[in-house]
Amino acid sequence: MTRHVLIVGGGVIGLCTALECAQRGLRVTVVERNASQRDGCSYGNTGMVVPSHFVPLAAPGAVATALKWMWNPASPFYVKPRLSAELAAWALKFWRAASDEHLRRAGPLLCSLALASRAQYEALAGDANDFEFEKRGVLMLCRTAHALHEEATVAENARSLGLHAQVLDPKAAAALEPSMRMDIAGAVHYTDDCNVDPARLMASLERRCAAAGVSFHWQSELRGWHLNGARIRAARLASGEGLLADDFILCAGSWTPALARELGLRLPMQAGKGYSVTLPRPRFVPRGCALLTEARVAVSPMNGTLRFGGTMELAGMDESINPIRVRGIIDAVQRYYPEFGPQDFEGIKPWRGLRPCTPDGVPYVGRTRAKENLVVAAGHAMLGITLGPITGRIAADLLQGIEPKYDLGALSPDRYH
């Protein structure tokens, strides 16, 4: 009898996992709390596939930077003041992880995973390329000499991992982007990075899943589990329905910790709200993607449009839009690209999404001691698009008893137990 896999969550991680499992002959059901037409974390981001982003969120110097920014509502990182034991515990774990040793351990792993995912995207795009996979590269734009020096150090580490990175002066950077006037001290160019249109990617994955036989339960919120000793027997929906399966994969993004708690699994995680604004008919369009380094704003051309995304706001599960945060992105764009003005953003509706952030900046991917037929695949923060395909492959390998070639100890959902 064909094994039945139930996947909780229909974001990019859930759909990549569903497709991989279905292509291997497994029977797959996806349960998603929203409707098929949705605008969650996987949709409005900048769509970057970035092996260059191998430095985890918890990196050396991150704590000092976070303390400098956290009380300023317009800064790249903001913590909404609130009493929360979970937030305090997460912050302590973040502080402990932000070390050189953690970077040496996590950086090569994240880079290897991203490169593997990039290769999978290239194969998935094929000739049709229905999700706008583009090998554009990324320019890390630096307005100050200090930031350029720091990025040059990261570039040196990137080259040691096999990435192609070149430090550029303003003239060399301008040669790569002749249509964009940039106010910068220099840049680092990563040629291995790519981007996709995330909404088209999600539509493509959904179509491919349906063609492979995946069944979907839309607008079906998971409320708990039916257990049988060390195994999960069924997922319990808000409607009261119980969905039986042989194996369960938890890919619910920022909603994952609450669903895991009933299983005795503690997954420290904070929802890091990000924002984006998309210009449908921009006056200037860069050839490649960019990151406005000091402002932590990503720039991504997509099929004639231009998207700017960024900020990290820890405000719990609040999905409202804070206009001060959006203004921070727009102001930053004008500092780096002086030819953009306020008029370019008039009437543009901002998007927001909750990115699931682990304290050490490394996702939870793997089996857990909590239940023997459970796999967790969540906590990818800003790397959900980047790591979607490889996460799906690892999850499917685990279900089939294939030992992945990656250090699953570093990804273990049990690492904080």
Q: Are residues 215 and 279 in the same domain?
A: no
Give yes or no: residues 131 and 279 share one domain: yes
DSSP code, position 60:
T
End-to-end CA distance of the chain: 35
Give the domain range for residue 157. 52-86+123-190+271-357
The pLDDT of residue 67 is 78
Is 336:174 a contact under the CB 8 Å cutoff? no
Amino acid at 363: P
Whether 281 is in a domain gets the answer yes
Check if the beta carbon of residue 106 is closer than 8 Å to that of residue 381: no
- Contact predicate 194/10, CB 8 Å: no
Q: Is the dihedral of CA 277, 278, 284, 288 positive or negative?
A: positive
Which residues are CB-contacts of 129 (< 8 A; sequence separation ≥ 6)? none
Domain tally, the chain: 2
The bridge status of strand 289-292 relative to strand 194-195 is unpaired
Condensed to tens digits (0 to 9), the pLDDT of residues 183-193 reads 999 999 999 99
**Predicted pLDDT of residue 71:** 74
Q: What is the CATH number of the domain that holds 60?
A: 3.30.9.10
**Residue where a domain terminates, one of 313, 335, 357:** 357
Query: Domain for residue 229, yes or no?
Result: yes
Q: What angle do CA 293, 297, 302 make, to 5 degrees?
A: 120
Annotate 94-127 with b (16+ C-beta within 10 A) or e (fewer): beebbbeebbebbbbbbbbbbbbbbebbeebbee
Across the chain, what does the average pLDDT equal?
95
Both 61 and 129 in one domain: the answer is: yes
pLDDT at 341 over 90: yes
Let me know whether 57 and 127 are in one domain.
yes
Same domain, 331 and 302: yes
- pLDDT tens per residue, range 28-44: 999 999 998 888 899 99
Nearest to 21 by CA among 407, 292, 392, 412: 392
Q: Which of 17-26, 72-81, 124-133, 225-234 has the lowest mean pLDDT?
A: 72-81
Residue 63 has pLDDT above 90, yes or no: no
Q: Give residue-wise pLDDT tens across range 171-184.
A: 999 999 999 999 99
